[in-house]
Amino acid sequence: MGKLGELLSDEESAKQLAELAQMLMSEGGGEDEGSGESSAPDIGTIMKLSGLMGAFSQSDRNAELLLALRPHLSAERQKKVDKAVKLLKLIAVWNIAKESGLLNDIL
């Protein structure tokens, strides 16, 4: 709950979490239209999403190494390092989403 509070207190993280929740609700939106129920995500989905957001802040040894080497590289290679670090974070988020079952309907 503390991590969820931290995520929601950060404006950018809350915005990303809301966008992700909106995306998930739009994929399953056809199910609740006729029943009159709210299409708000349940607490389980919110917890899964908070795990995804936590993946962005987790430290990765490979990313840390690349970032440590970054100041010693040319500008062109620094851009490549930045892209590589972003890809490493994206892969971490993908793995967490896959393990949590958020991608079951997509895959």
Q: Are 25 and 40 in contact (CB under 8 A)?
A: yes
**Blockwise average pLDDT, block size 10, the chain, 107 residues:** 57 69 61 50 69 71 93 96 89 80 70
Distance of CA 38 to the CA centre of its chain: 24
Q: Is 74 left (phi over 0), alpha (psi -120 to 50) or beta?
A: beta
Secondary structure of 11-74 in HEC code, one letter for each residue: HHHHHHHHHHHHHHHHHCHHHCCCCCCCCCCCHHHHHHHHHHHHHHHCCCHHHHHHHHHHHHCC
Residue spans of the domains in the chain: they are 1-40, 58-107
pLDDT number for residue 4: 55
Residue in the block written with tokens 């929601």:
8
pTM higher than the cut 0.75: no
The CA distance from 91 to 80, in Å, is 16
pLDDT number for residue 58: 72
The CA distance from 31 to 50, in Å, is 24
